[in-house]
Amino acid sequence: MANLFPAYVQAHPSFMMPELVLQYQQASGFTEALAGREVLPRLGQGDLAVYGKRLELRTQVAGGQVAYNDLPSVTLVAEQFSTPTYLWRLRAEYDHHDTQQASEWGVSLVEAQRMGMRQGIFQQVRAAALFGTGKTGEGLLNTPSAITVNLPADSFGNTTVSTYDNGQMALFLLSQIAALKTRTNLMGMGVRINILTTQRVLGAWEYQGVVQLTQYQRDGAGVATTAEMVQAIAKRQGDEVTFTMDDTLQGAASAGADYILLNMPEVKKPASQNRINTNIFADLQPSMTGAAVQLCDIVAPQEIQCPLPGGASDVLAEMRSTSGWGIRPETITIITAPF
């Protein structure tokens, strides 16, 4: 760890621009793939694991023109599942000489170190959300029983995102959304769908992927991009489709392909407008609508400051979180696509 603020020479008279040219990192959109669009601050300090409860129903009914006496019954099966938590920590050390030298550059060293520590922890939380930490099955991309799909060839034999027919790419994504809604019994109900992928894939969909004109008029042909076509058609069904990016997905799949994470972060309860509701068991409370979640103990890293010999300061930043947790794996589709 170093605070490097060297001496500098200037000619006078001169003007020093007060603004800093900062190093910018990608602002990941991974939280859009989580329930509530955020990491949920529900953990207590020191919690080492998070547990969830699942209740499944099995029914069998006897029926006939006469009354049965030997009757079946309702079967309820309870199941517990869990995920571990992880404590993310890092520190900053500086003294009054460091802060004075930084001030010569117009930098608050205390604030710069604070922001740097937060960024480091938040990036680790992002990595845990997508890829997990340690244990197999952690992270949204490692969700057991999630649907995995390889990008198929289009009608022209293209198998990469950059060469794929733009209209057929939109139809492929829409087919995955339809399949997801069918799996979750939500066909006909508006839901939120998030598609998380890399900048280069998203760039191909949003800027280069204008749906081509053909001998017959395709929906959006000549004016709409792949992403716009997906959003427009989904909107007609009441769905909200968002596209977000994270370049840690670039080359992370097999053979250097990119991941495309298509998921429904929250589910809606399938309901009937009629008095006889074949899904009435779903009215049992309390119930959880989150399908992909990540939990933390505090919304921002805790900072613990203590003195060091020689008048220096040591600042420890820490935060605890789980990995990404796909508690409803049927809502997650993981697409592998070579660029």
CA angle 76, 281, 80 (to 5 degrees): 45
How large a percentage of the chain has pLDDT more than 90? 83
Residue 17 lies in a domain: no
Residue type at 44 in one-letter notation: G
| Average pLDDT of span 282-293 | 93
Write the pLDDT tens digit of every residue in 79-104: 999 999 999 999 999 999 999 999 99
185 CB burial (10 A radius; 0-12, 13-18, 19+):
middle
Residue 185 lies in a domain: yes
CA dihedral 132, 173, 40, 110 (to 10 degrees): 70
216 has a pLDDT exceeding 50: no
Residue 296: both structure tokens together? 């933390």
For 23-56, the DSSP string reads PP-----GGGGSGGGS-EE-PPTT--EEEEEEEE
How large a percentage of the chain has pLDDT more than 70? 95
Residue 279: both structure tokens together? 């899904």
C-alpha distances in Å from residue 100, one per residue of 19, 21, 93, 103, 108: 18, 20, 14, 5, 9
Residue 9 lies in a domain: no
209 has a pLDDT exceeding 80: no
Residue 20 lies in a domain: no
Residue 48 lies in a domain: yes
* Helix or strand run (H / E) with residue 90: strand 75-94
Query: Residue 226: which domain range?
Result: 30-337
Residue 3 lies in a domain: no
217 has a pLDDT exceeding 60: no
| Average pLDDT of span 194-212 | 90
pLDDT at 222 (0 to 100): 58
> What CATH number is attached to the domain comprising 73?
3.90.1690
**Helices (H), ranges, 31-151:** 96-104, 109-131
81 CB burial (10 A radius; 0-12, 13-18, 19+):
exposed
What's the pLDDT band for 135 if we cut at 50, 70, 90? low
Domain count, the chain: 1
